Structure 1
Amino acid sequence: MLSSEWPARIFLADEHPIFLAGLKACLAEQPDIQVVGEVNSSAQLVQLVETAAPHVAVVGESFNGVSVAEGLLSALPAHRVILVAEEADALRAHRLLAMGARGYVLKQSPGSVVLKAIRAVLRGGSFFDAIEAPRTPSRNGRGPVLTQREQEVLRLIALGFSIREAAERIGITTKSAETYKARASSKLSIDSRQKIVQYAITRGWFQ
Structure 2
Amino acid sequence: MVTCSTIQEESYVEFLRIRRVPLQERESSHDVPDVVPQIRAAAKKDRDIMEKGVKAFVSYVRAYKEHHCSYIFRWKELEIGKLGMGYGLLQLPSMSEVKNYSLSTDGFVPVEDINIAEIKYKDKSREKQRKKNLKAKEEARALNPKPHKNPKAKGNAADNSRKKKTAKQRRAAQSVEDVDELERDYRLLKKLKKGVIDETEFAKLTGVDDM
Normalising to structure 2: TM-score of the pair?
0.21
Query: Whose strand proportion is higher, 1 or 2?
Result: 1
Query: Whose helix proportion is higher, 1 or 2?
Result: 2
